[in-house]
Amino acid sequence: MIINRRPPATVRLGLSTRPRRVAELGIASWARHADWVMLAAVAGLLVYGLDVLRTITVAPQDAPKYDKQVLFALVGVPLMLAASIVDPERYRRAKTWLFGGLVASLLAVIAIGTSVNGSQRWISLPGLLLQPSEFGKVVIVLAAAAFLADRVQRTGDASLTLGALAYAAVPGALVFLQPDLGTALVFGASAIGVLWLFGTRWTHFAALGAGLVALLVVVLVVAPAAGHPVLKGYQKDRLTVFLDPSSLKREAAVADSRGDSVAADQARRGLYQYEQALTAVGHGGLRGQGVGEDASQVTGQFLPEHYTDFFFASVAEQRGFLGCAVLLGLFALLLWRALMAATIASTQFQSLVAGGIAVTLLWQVFLNVGMNVGIMPITGVPLPLLSYGGSSLWTTLISVGILEAIVIRGRLAGPEARTRELTSVRS
Amino acid sequence: MRRLRVDTDHQPRPGFGPEPGSLRTVFGPQVVARVWTLAVIVCIAMGVLVFRLWFLQVLSSDEFQARADSNQQRVVPIEARRGLITDRHGQELVGNRASLAVGVYPAKLPKGKRGREIKATLRRVLRLRLGFIEDKINASATDRYGWVRLKSSVDKQTIFFLREQQLPGIEVRDEYERSYPERTAGAQLMGRVGEITKEQLALPAYANRDRYQAGDKIGQAGLESRYDDFVKGVNGASTASVDAIGRPVPGAAVQLTQAIPGDTLRTTLDAGLERAAQRSLERGIRDVASVSPQPLPADVGAVVALDPRTGAVLAMASSPSYDPAHFDRNYNRILPKQARLGEPSFDPNFPTPARNYADEEVFQPGSTFKPFSAIAALQAGVLTPDTAWPDQKLVNGRYCADPTNKATCRQNFEGEVSSGVPLVQAITQSVDTYFYEVGDKLFQKSGIGAIPRWAGVFGYGKPTGIDLGGEAAGAVDTAETWKDKQLAFIRKFNPALLAPGNEQGLRDATDWFSGFSLQQAIGQTTVQVTVLQQATAYAALANGGTLHKPYLADARLDGSGRVVQDLRPPPADSVRLPVDRANLDAVRAGLLGAAQIGTSAAVFGPTYPIQVAGKTGTAEIPRKVPGAAEPVNIENSWYCGYAPADNPQLTVCSFVRNGGEGAKTSAPVVKRVFDAYFGIVNGRRTARTAEVLGGPGAGPAGVSTP
């Protein structure tokens, strides 16, 4: 006896809360209700990022990267504005398509993807490399939020927690195979963020935490000891390098003695990245070395991946502690407004989405900056809005657009809309 | 089975999670509380990052500043131009030319497939073995982040190709390459320049890091090595800001320390004479087959030409030789296995261009040693210049120490019978029987040590002290040194002889037989000399009894050609020998006679425009020859002479192994050197002859004409 498997039609179709289209309201209304603070923070980050990128792509082969990133931004900002117009409830209904599309594209990456630096993460399109896993960062939030919001009556049920986690776990596993541990971790964070805002029982979080600890113990300790390591030595050591930098040196020596030059190389690369990032950040000092030759670690290209994974270290060397503080301040502003959006959302789904996006952003910023300053594992997580790359930029801008849409609709509907939704759910 | 639940049945525990009945539960304080929790987490996360940044960028700034500086500074050594090596007239023997070297930064070389491709490209265009490249990269003396030279003097075409390819980790550097205008002449004297090895860097001699650093090229042999301290110069450095792949940062200041070029070494050599000596020697070796066929081919030889008045070496040639321009890379690799010095496969008898046969190898001097046996006997008083032995114990023309025992009989060379002649004529005719008598008489009177002692006076048995490395000492044996030498040999090659029960055999092998003294008098068996020792000793005969230390380095000149250091040996290195003038003159008379009417009259004789005095030598040595059951006597050809006889300006010694008779092979070699020195063309004097003879530096006073 299946009762209430599907939400009521009103909810499913989003009729009860559907505000008038913004287009109907006109640009003036959009402008009146939009969160300008959030937009200002995003604009600040975008401009800041492009300004840094312009000065760090000094090598001739890197020069087109700035122009491309400007182009990506010129495409991304309209995408953001478009997303701010689209009714977020549409995503709720399109959950299956979105999620299915994500899984399909990740499978496509495995089948026909392009490899860079030993990771197969990209689908090659004419003119650009598309990284589907980046879009996963917003799709998973939408899908998990839709899944939970559709089952609000069963709040607290363990199957919901497991279900929401599955939305992260399936693409997470596909991404992990690429291998891209960092993005898999972000997927997990997205699901957990949505779950947190949904009001999942603390016992579930406790169990989840225990499970994660157990998984870490198995992966890092038990499996290698048993002779079936899940991660290669250098992969493991990249995760723990911030705890013990010499472990990579040892790993390289061990790999050399085995004659495994690939592993030794990876280990050395990891250590080199760790050390160079710290050097660049430390070299920045309080006020930074400026955008010229004095920022020798960046302009001299000692800093690897200085416009992608280690973008933050580039900022740190050029602009120093003060520049970093401004950057982190802009992120804090964006996160604050995202969390605000969660409280003024007109529906629970939208509230979950806003919270999920906020947590996803926070986790990315923390992973990336943490990696740059040597307190987090070395994973390929970009710095949102700043690292070079179209997929990441568009994903973040679309997320911001969704946040704007949620804010605009929340403000338009007013506080009573939230009551109305619950009533309709109850009826 | 899936657990299903009607949502109205759902009753979560109060306090945890939303309560479905309440409006407040979704957007009430709980949501706000959860959002607040997230806000706190955001604050904590940002706080952690800011705190860490403060630690790195403000508190530890100095440490990272230093790390960053070491990242961006690259010290590229500027190679100092090595000093020239010139002959006595300033003509260049070793010069420099600009060259381009291709090297690699091992740390910057990509790994994996790309790295292999790059190495394969280098292998192809530089024509190196892959193993050689790998060795260079893995076992370079420089650290992992330094530049390792793969190949010097790479041609322009290849450089263009490599520049075009822009291979990561590969860098072309300017450097100097030695040039050798004299090619094969004196190659072994000049020696060789090569990259300092890891082992050398660890030696105290190269401990000064301001002068010797990994990758430096230093003299590895010969004069290049001996005078490396001032020939090398001091490398400069350019300290530049570079990017991660080593390219200079445009516009960045470069700190430049200029290199100080090395000083010039002016040698005593005469380029023309050196060339003549080398050519003459090569021709002599080539001619052996036609003039004096031997069971083994003539393979090695040497010529030394000294100024007997000073000991200055005017020419020193060794064959086989090589053109250093084509030979100084992978020096050992292109030699046959037996010729590789310092390797287990090395066979000392195998001819190798790496060896200077003039001073690094010893040979039995044969009859060229006779003058010194004569002086020993004269000084010991067992004979006078007029002594003849008409009653010699000759049996059928053979000299027999014990006429009743045929085994003690020795034949005169070529079976000639000349008995009853006095000393001068005995030298002139190189009468072996006379010198057997000399040996016998000396042995009777003074025991075994007389000849070795007098040989020692003339510089035998110890290095001459010439300013070249690797000089052999040679030996004129006494019973003791013979025994030691034989024992060492037995220990190495025939240890069975040392076992108990072989006492007789051991004694036979190590005891001194009376016959040895006889042999020693004619320079065989127990006499081992270098060609240089022989020339030095003859120079002492030529100049009337002063033993000069032979030397090659004349002076050190600075860049403007001013002498900054006199490198000639101090006068204390020249020894006035305790030889009676009359005795010396008798020997000199014999030598003059030998060249005029004696053994080498056919080569020189009275028609030669310059009066030459000299002695042939033909040392017979039993040697196993492929194809022959019994050891065959091979003949080593010697000639030592000086000219003009009354006022010697030049002493020349020539040696050709397996060269046959001294008169047939070596004497013509020496003649050609005299020709060149005195400007004699087709047996006639030229303008140069008068110039040389009448030139400054007439011979030492008091040398009487014999």
The residue ranking higher by pLDDT, B294 or B314, is B314
Q: Which residue of A has its CA nearest to B36?
A: A339
C-beta separation of A212 from A410 below 8 A: no
pLDDT at A12: 45
pLDDT at B672: 95
Element (H, E) at B509: helix B503-510
Residues of A in contact with B57 (CB under 8 A): 281-282, 284-286, 316, 320-321, 324
Q: Which residue of B has its CA nearest to A302?
A: B244
This prediction has a pTM of: 0.62
For the stretch A193-206, pLDDT in tens is: 999 988 888 888 89
CB–CB of B5 and A300 under 8 A? no
Going from the C-alpha of B307 to that of each of A64, B547, B554, the distances in angstroms are 75, 12, 13
Q: What is the distance between the alpha carbons of residues B270 and B315, in angstroms, rounded to a whole number?
A: 6
Pairing of strands B85-86, B264-267: parallel
DSSP B420: S
CB–CB of A336 and B42 under 8 A? yes
Chain A nearest CA to B237, separation (Å): 21
| Residue B619, pLDDT above cutoff 70 | yes
Q: What is the distance between the alpha carbons of residues B590 and B584, in angstroms, rounded to a whole number?
A: 10
- pLDDT confidence tier of residue B441, bands split at 50, 70 and 90: confident
Measured from the Cβ of residue B21, the count of other Cβ atoms closer than 10 Å reads 11
Nearest one of B355, B361, B551, B372 to B464, comparing CA atoms: B551
Adjacent-strand bridge partners of B217: B195
Residues in chain A: 427
Here the tokens at position B323 are 């053109």
- pLDDT confidence tier of residue B22, bands split at 50, 70 and 90: very low
Secondary structure (3-state) at A334? helix
- pLDDT confidence tier of residue B1, bands split at 50, 70 and 90: very low
Touching check for B253 and chain A: CB below 8 Å? no
Measured from the Cβ of residue A93, the count of other Cβ atoms closer than 10 Å reads 15
| Residue A83, pLDDT above cutoff 90 | yes
Mind giving me the DSSP string for B638-685?
EEEEEESTTS--EEEEEEETT---IIIIIHHHHHHHHHHHHT-BTTB-
Secondary structure (3-state) at A216? helix
- pLDDT confidence tier of residue B3, bands split at 50, 70 and 90: very low
pLDDT at B170: 87
Measured from the Cβ of residue A325, the count of other Cβ atoms closer than 10 Å reads 17
C-beta separation of B552 from B313 below 8 A: yes
Test the A interface: residue of B56, B145, B239, B249 with most A CBs within 10 Å: B56
In chain B, residues 596-635 whose CB comes closer than 8 Å to chain A: none
pLDDT at B704: 31
| Residue B384, pLDDT above cutoff 80 | yes
C-beta separation of B571 from B684 below 8 A: no
Residues of A in contact with B27 (CB under 8 A): 343, 348, 351, 415, 418-419
Mean pLDDT of chain B, nearest integer: 83
Residues of B in contact with A343 (CB under 8 A): 27, 31-32, 35
C-beta separation of A341 from A386 below 8 A: no
Going from the C-alpha of B626 to that of each of B178, B291, B296, B348, B636, the distances in angstroms are 41, 22, 9, 17, 18
| Residue A233, pLDDT above cutoff 90 | no
Residues of B in contact with A293 (CB under 8 A): 241, 249, 251-252
| Residue B8, pLDDT above cutoff 70 | no
CB–CB of B38 and A153 under 8 A? no
Here the tokens at position B170 are 């590969």
CB–CB of A282 and B63 under 8 A? yes
For the stretch B133-173, pLDDT in tens is: 888 877 654 555 578 888 888 888 888 888 888 888 888 88
Touching check for B16 and chain A: CB below 8 Å? yes
Q: What percent of chain A has pLDDT over 90?
A: 41
Q: What is the distance between the alpha carbons of residues B201 and B654, in angstroms, rounded to a whole number?
A: 39
C-beta separation of B669 from B303 below 8 A: yes
Q: Which residue of B has its CA nearest to A334?
A: B42
Q: What is the distance between the alpha carbons of residues B126 and B155, in angstroms, rounded to a whole number?
A: 9
- pLDDT confidence tier of residue B17, bands split at 50, 70 and 90: very low
In chain B, residues 24-53 whose CB comes closer than 8 Å to chain A: 25-27, 30-32, 34-35, 37-39, 41-43, 45-46, 48-50, 52-53
Nearest one of A426, A41, A266, A238 to B111, comparing CA atoms: A266
Tell the residue number behind the tokens 């006076």, with chain if given.
B457
| Residue A128, pLDDT above cutoff 80 | no
C-beta separation of B342 from B348 below 8 A: no
Tell the residue number behind the tokens 């006429």, with chain if given.
B403
DSSP B12: P
pLDDT at A10: 45
For the stretch B227-260, pLDDT in tens is: 999 999 888 887 776 666 556 666 666 777 888 8
- pLDDT confidence tier of residue A426, bands split at 50, 70 and 90: very low
Beta strands in B141-235 (DSSP E): 148-151, 170-179, 192-195, 217-221
- pLDDT confidence tier of residue B341, bands split at 50, 70 and 90: low
3-state secondary structure B73-121: EEEEEECCCCCCEECCCCCEEEEEEEEEEEEECHHHCCCHHHHHHHHHH
Touching check for B60 and chain A: CB below 8 Å? yes
> Quick check: bond before B204 cis, omega within 30?
no
Q: How many Cα atoms within 13 Å fall on the side-chain side of residue B433?
A: 26
| Residue B397, pLDDT above cutoff 70 | no
The residue ranking higher by pLDDT, B382 or A262, is B382
pLDDT at A201: 85
Distance in angstroms between the alpha carbons of the first and the last residue of chain B: 132
For the stretch B452-470, pLDDT in tens is: 999 999 999 999 999 988 8
Show Cβ contacts of residue B276 under 8 Å, excluding neighbours closer than 6 positions. Answer: B315, B672, B673, B675, B676, B677
C-beta separation of A285 from B61 below 8 A: yes
Q: What is the distance between the alpha carbons of residues A85 and A78, in angstroms, rounded to a whole number?
A: 11
Here the tokens at position A368 are 């990336």
Going from the C-alpha of B163 to that of each of A136, B183, B247, the distances in angstroms are 45, 32, 13
| Residue B703, pLDDT above cutoff 60 | no
The residue ranking higher by pLDDT, B450 or B268, is B268
Tell the residue number behind the tokens 């190679």, with chain if given.
B79
pLDDT at A1: 42
- pLDDT confidence tier of residue B396, bands split at 50, 70 and 90: low
Which ipTM was obtained for this model? 0.89
